[in-house]
Structure 1
């Protein structure tokens, strides 16, 4: 009896850990740490070295803010009735797994608290002006689905998510290492801005019909399914062409063209949405969009690292 009880308890603990891990929505977390890598490697080219303590703090803080944003999304979608036991996607800790809504909200706040403590260390090592930017990032994470006028209910979700998570994190990661910002770093951050916007767009395409019934006015709703997929195709095209142009202009090294190897993933992602009607059919497409963002970011980072190595020979 004790053995059976112990086995049952261990299984429950394992299931609980799995549910909590899903709350972090791990497939989305690359959107938070890839920008830190890009910004840090760009700074490495200037400093010929990095403060690895700051890199680690930036990585963890960015991941925690992203995780908190995901938890706020889970909480408020449940509170507003958007998430049910029948909803498709990784959400469902509250509706399917029995985690209390208050627990999800508390975990989100704990993530922000730890991120704030890391932010104090980052600011003390660079500039206290970053505290305002960090608070702004946290506010956007909360207001995306929280507050009286959630950003997720408007056509501007893709743009704001891209600005704060894409360009914003790259610029901060660069600044904490160098103490400065320049126009080239922002230009290099733009493809990441676009691809993070594409992740949000893929989510909104999948949820378009349900969101419309619940009063949202996302870009995907305004465009309709076919044109929203075409818009996302344009996002992939512009992100890759942007890198080509910056390479031809000498802003990026030729190694940055490695990002073009991510194009097959982008095509696969688009095929995951074309002529699809039901949310469950679009899940593979959503996964491919996130993978495209990850692969693009890793390839760009590798290209920049190669340039660092070549310049130090």
Structure 2
């Protein structure tokens, strides 16, 4: 079926709006947090690690990612930011008329409430502080699209909410504590996932500049941003020495596979430089992020 043949508010329309390929970014930090918690729980009394809590963390992350995609789709349509003629990334559901604005508003309300309902039982495992964590996640889910991404703070939010928060909270839910190793691992995860935003903004830099969206790429230029893309991969792997120091050499060595793939994608990105062809680099970056998450998690469990 062609995109022009999509019936409004159909299942396929909602699937495109949900953007399931982005769920990689939601899964990886929880995966790493849980691998860290499971590894450290071996020194705790038997039964410390809860698979139910792990499932709830994954489910909450997935629903919040879909919620963020819906919010982004809705508000970008209202602002007129998605023009089919100038847009270089995947087309958005509301702007294309695949999903009506009223239906999207209802979907945002439903996914937000569902995420809260899924996250509520985590109070049993992590304490009342989980309410604050959930509220902050929902708040910044809206603020990202409506305000903060427009002034160049998108990268900061990615590092915090796709690295530090999910990794540390996933660990905390299991063991009711956190430590410097977990914090460093969470920061490294945030850097890796931020590479997805960098290549996305690298592709859209001309349109963002015209629309007044001051991303990091717009502020510092394409060359500096491409260097940032490359070096955050090196930085994340270098931060992985914390695993080696703590007796998990495999969790440092296996992500070097990710680093090789990351460097390959970097050279492809600077070679393409402009246009829709950069979507290939976007797809490769999402794949690389998944490889990183699996490599770190496997290294810890091994």
TM-score (norm 2): 0.91
Equivalent of residue 191 in structure 2, options 178, 191, 194: 194
8 Å CA contact retained: 1:268, 1:285: no
Alignment match, 1:80: 79
Distance (Å, rounded) in 1 between the aligned partners of 2:31 and 2:247? 16
Distance 1:180 1:211, change over 3 A: same
Structure 2 counterparts to residues 27-42 of structure 1, below 5 A: 27-42=21-36
After superposition, residues 64-143 of structure 1 pair within 5 angstroms as: 64-86=63-85, 87-143=87-143
Pick closer, same or farther for the CA change 1:91–1:71 going to 2, 3 Å.
Answer: farther
Map of 1:272 onto structure 2: 268
Unpaired runs of 5+ residues, structure 1, are 1-10, 307-313
Cα shift readout 1:162-205 (whole Å, capped 9, x = no counterpart): 11121110111111111111121111212101012111111111
Alignment of 1:101-250 (within 5 A): 101-146=101-146, 150-243=147-240, 245-248=241-244, 250=245
Are positions 1:289 and 2:285 aligned together?
Answer: yes
**Cα pair distance change 1:93/1:125, threshold 3 Å:** same
Measure the CA separation in 2 of the matches of 1:247 and 1:32: 22
Q: Distance in 1 between matches of 2:175 and 2:293?
A: 21
Cα-to-partner distance string for 1:223-248 (whole Å, 9 max, x where unaligned): 211221111111111111221x3244
Q: Which structure 2 residue ranges, 5 or more long, are not aligned?
A: none
Which structure: larger Rg? 1
Task: Determine if contact 1:19/1:97 at 8 Å carries over to the other structure.
Answer: no
Q: 1:229 to 1:133 in 2, by over 3 A?
A: same
CA distance in 2, matches of 1:37, 1:123: 20
Contact 1:195–1:293 (CA under 8 A) maintained in structure 2: yes
- Alpha-carbon distance in structure 2 between the residues aligned to 1:72 and 1:252: 42
The alpha-carbon deviation at position 116 of structure 1 amounts to 0.3
Work out the CA distance in 2 between the residues paired with 1:271 and 1:284. 12
- 2:248 alignment counterpart: 253
Higher relative contact order (CA 8 A, sep 6+): 2
